[in-house]
Structure 1
Amino acid sequence: MQSWAEILADVQANWLIYASMPFVAALIGYVTKLVAIRMMFEPIEFLGIKPYLGWQGIVPRKAAIMASIACDTMTQRLLKPQDIFGRLDPDQIAREIEGPLLEQVEKITHEVASHYSPGLWEAAPDSVRQAIIRRIQAEAPNIVRQMMVDLKNNIDDMFDLTDMVVRALMRDKRLLNRIFQEAGHEEFRFIARSGIYFGFVIGCVQAVTWALTHSPWVMPLFGGFTGWFTDWLALKMIFYPKKPTKYLGLFTWQGLFLKRRKEVAAEYGALIAAEVVTPRNVLEAVLRGPFSDRLFHMVTKQVQRSIDEQAGIVRRVVMFAVGSRQYRDMKQMIADKIVETLPDTLRHMEGYVGTAMDLRSTLTVKMQELTEDEFEALLRPAFQQDEWILITVGAVLGFLVGEMQVQVMLHLGSIPAH
């Protein structure tokens, strides 16, 4: 053990080394945080030699789990199918797509009639052909209107919100990254900055310990501790405490993510409405999702019923020309053709659907109603998955930088070789 005079002399002789310790520790804290954050999201795909020699970002690697967790919160507490379709007006939907729908109906009628009775259709007076087309066109908006009414009344049987959300997030891992990155962008910034402050304080303790012991293990051990402790503490400070709490009677702290609830709610709501639960994704889920066959069956029945109801005297002419069996086949073909054109036709109502649903406002309001635990679940899963790996990496990097410090001082002759 050195005397105080020896310690003072050593500090004066090597003041630059002592002065550098807090700054090096701050740098360790900052760099290890940046590395940890990057490792959460990058690379998108596995880089290296599978299965163990390499790395893939934690969020992309656990995409299925992450998407499921994000989806659970979104669909159980934030959105219900009724929230999406409840505000849609069937009459307005019919008006939005009336133009393209009537155009498709005319094309389909020409195609089907030419297929089943080509000679008669071409030979028939134009007034008869137009009468058939007009009758089918007149009923087309009613078919759409009734389809929307049936869809709203049987929404749970025809629209799978969970499947739609999971598919959207699994299809685009970068989008999944963005959900966590944008929801927690301030928290990630805090993590990086906190490494500087916490590291500087630990570096001051390191300098004192070095002055007292001159042990070559001080640098790597303190470096490892800095990397580990600053990671652990920053993560804790993001989510805890859940309510404002006073410490030492001097300052009040609340988990940063929970403190930003209103801001996060607005940003999260905007992102989900713009990228995940979009009008196009919703319509795509209805038309191509796991329950789409039920919708198409319903549309087919509506079309066939409408043809029978509206055909009137024209129906007898058609049945005489093609026969009752072919008439049934023709009805089925018309229904099938209309179902085929639905995806393109319904895209014309995306603008109205987006405005009517107003999901951004709905999500923002409902997010602000979440409990602390439910709100935490929006971001916490990104850290919980393999969190120990991130903290361990921080500790290892800190240890290696500390060892580099030792090697520098060995080279300068400030400490004996070990």
Structure 2
Amino acid sequence: MTTLASGLFIDWEGLTGQSKFVVDLISFPIFSAIAGLLTNWTGVLMLFWPVQFKGFRVPGLQILYPYLPRRVQVLPIFSGDGKRLGFQGFIPARAEKMASICVDKALLRIGSPRDFISELDLEGIGDYLADHARDQVKTIVDEIMYRDSPDLWRSLPKQMKNAVYQRVDRQLPNLCHRAFESLGDNIDQLLDVKNFVIRYLDQNPYILKDLTTTIAAPELKFMVRVGLLGAPFGLILALYLHIHSQIPYWGAIPSWAIVLFASAVIGVTVNVIAVKMVFTPGDPQPRYKYIWRQALLAKRQQQAATDLAHILAYQVLTVENLSNELLEGPNGDKTRQLIERVVAEEIHKQLGPAAFMVRAAIGKKGYENLASAGAGAGFSMAPAMVDDEAFVAEQAKKIDEFAARKLRKLTPGEFMEMFYAAVEQDAWLLYLHGGALGIAVGAIHLLTFGW
């Protein structure tokens, strides 16, 4: 069996005057610590970066890709269309799955859509819209009438037009209140929170990255530092190599093979320890089950819950996002029909005794169109609401406080289930990365110090 007692470029024993055993006792812990730090540091980076897939087109990959096993296809080294080879952070690459877990394990435990909407100041929103729409009353009424009944509206005396403006103006608060009360009463049919959040986070994967890096920032730093545990493992490896050749049969295995194998094991082990200490167990356990008793993130549940609620309130469940989902989402037509019904009832009341004459002048169909047109004009008030930063911030604060209160009431096990479930299924990729990087560092050690 061929061995090399020193490195390819430096005779460490001659340089230091020490035996190979002493050189190994010093070098293996240092290299193992470096391997552990690199493994965990790059592992944390790979969780989140890059947010968007970065890669290059490979000729023929698109033809081969459909025949690969599903477990291989979902690896973040392939673009979604299977045409490019590259990389995307584990969490952004699994945005849809991560979002689904987030909803199932957190949002649906916090409350239903009705619970979230009830936290908003619906009456205040109605008053806000009514107040900001007053300057638009004349424009809205003219727009509706000129579009649906231009001859009638042009023929009306100015005094009658002013009377209509005044009636609409007086009814605005009541109209807005009733519209938002109806939305609140029917919110479960109009807003599918799970599909909305999954779709939104899938389209905005950077929020998932921010969510984890913000909530678990101290724990992610700890995961990197845990890599230093490679040092004692390296010391154990050096001691073992000193007696390896004396072991019957097993000692026939080349030392370099033992070093590479042990380096891979060390890379995997420090990764496993880091992930497990941060995410498991949620509820405190006896020392004989877990030396650390409880996940580090679970110990900070109160602060982590506050951070999670803040991100949900200010980046996901915002007034703007909820408004867009209600009006432009899959059930947007139902929302519009609901508002149209409320607006139609109000316009009938606003026309009052003149309703019969108006109906006769413009026809039954035109009269109904007039009522429905009010809803379309009413939608133009919504941008003013979401453009007011103070108003939006006030509503976000209500959602923030509500979500934080609910998340803090979850048991540590329930709270941690959301985070660990998002990492657990793809943890093997981190471990594989740790093993590969460990082998690389082990190979560098062999080239540097010999075998």
Please, what TM-score do these two structures have when normalized by structure 1?
0.86
Question: Cα RMSD between the aligned structures?
Answer: 3.0
Contact 1:224–1:394, Cα closer than 8 Å, also in 2? yes
- Answering whether residue 146 of structure 2 is matched by residue 114 of structure 1, we say yes
Contact 1:287–1:343, Cα closer than 8 Å, also in 2? no
For residues 204-241 of structure 1, the C-alpha deviation after alignment (integer angstroms, 9 at most, x for no partner) is: 11221233347333432221121011111222222334
Letter matched to residue 266 of structure 1? T
Provide the secondary structure at the position in 1 that maps to 2:256: coil
- Answering whether residue 241 of structure 2 is matched by residue 210 of structure 1, we say yes
Tell me which residue corresponds to 1:189.
221
Letter matched to residue 157 of structure 2? P
For residues 343-372 of structure 1, the C-alpha deviation after alignment (integer angstroms, 9 at most, x for no partner) is: 325436774465356122222222122223
Contact 2:214–2:307, Cα closer than 8 Å, also in 1? yes
The Cα of 1:323 is off from its aligned counterpart by: 4.4
Contact 1:43–1:56, Cα closer than 8 Å, also in 2? yes
Whole-angstrom CA distance in 1 between matches of 2:286 and 2:376: 67
Tell me which residue corresponds to 2:93.
61
- Answering whether residue 28 of structure 2 is matched by residue 21 of structure 1, we say yes
The Cα of 1:172 is off from its aligned counterpart by: 0.5
The Cα of 1:192 is off from its aligned counterpart by: 0.9
| Segments of 4+ moved more than 6 angstroms | 8-11
For residues 215-273 of structure 1, the C-alpha deviation after alignment (integer angstroms, 9 at most, x for no partner) is: 3334322211210111112222223344445648xx76422121221121121111211
The Cα of 1:120 is off from its aligned counterpart by: 5.5
Tell me which residue corresponds to 1:392.
432
The Cα of 1:336 is off from its aligned counterpart by: 3.3
For residues 281-339 of structure 1, the C-alpha deviation after alignment (integer angstroms, 9 at most, x for no partner) is: 1222222222222221122122222222221344455446544543333333334333x
Tell me which residue corresponds to 2:75.
none
Alignment counterpart, residue 12 of structure 1, candidates 18, 29, 35: 18
Letter matched to residue 362 of structure 1? F
Letter matched to residue 269 of structure 2? F
Could you tell me which runs of 5 or more consecutive residues in structure 1 were left unpaired when the two chains were aligned. Answer: 1-7
Contact 1:27–1:199, Cα closer than 8 Å, also in 2? yes
Letter matched to residue 56 of structure 1? Q
Gap change, CA 1:393 and 1:125, over 3 Å in 2? same
The Cα of 1:101 is off from its aligned counterpart by: 2.0
Tell me which residue corresponds to 1:3.
none
For residues 155-212 of structure 1, the C-alpha deviation after alignment (integer angstroms, 9 at most, x for no partner) is: 212222222211221110111122222222222211110111x101111112212333
Could you tell me which runs of 5 or more consecutive residues in structure 2 were left unpaired when the two chains were aligned. Answer: 1-12, 58-77, 246-254
Alignment counterpart, residue 105 of structure 1, candidates 115, 131, 137: 137
Letter matched to residue 378 of structure 1? M
Trace 1:4-403 onto structure 2 (pairs within 5 A): 12-14=18-20, 15-48=22-55, 49=57, 50=78, 51=82, 53-116=85-148, 118=150, 121-122=153-154, 124-196=156-228, 198-213=229-244, 215-245=255-285, 247=287, 253-316=293-356, 318-319=358-359, 321-338=361-378, 340-347=379-386, 351-352=390-391, 354-356=393-395, 358-403=398-443
Please, what TM-score do these two structures have when normalized by structure 2?
0.80
Contact 2:385–2:392, Cα closer than 8 Å, also in 1? no
Contact 1:284–1:343, Cα closer than 8 Å, also in 2? no
Letter matched to residue 383 of structure 2? D
Percent of counterpart pairs with the same letter? 26
Tell me which residue corresponds to 1:4.
none
Contact 1:164–1:285, Cα closer than 8 Å, also in 2? yes
The Cα of 1:55 is off from its aligned counterpart by: 2.4
Contact 2:129–2:381, Cα closer than 8 Å, also in 1? no
Gap change, CA 1:381 and 1:399, over 3 Å in 2? same
Tell me which residue corresponds to 2:252.
none
Contact 1:11–1:211, Cα closer than 8 Å, also in 2? no
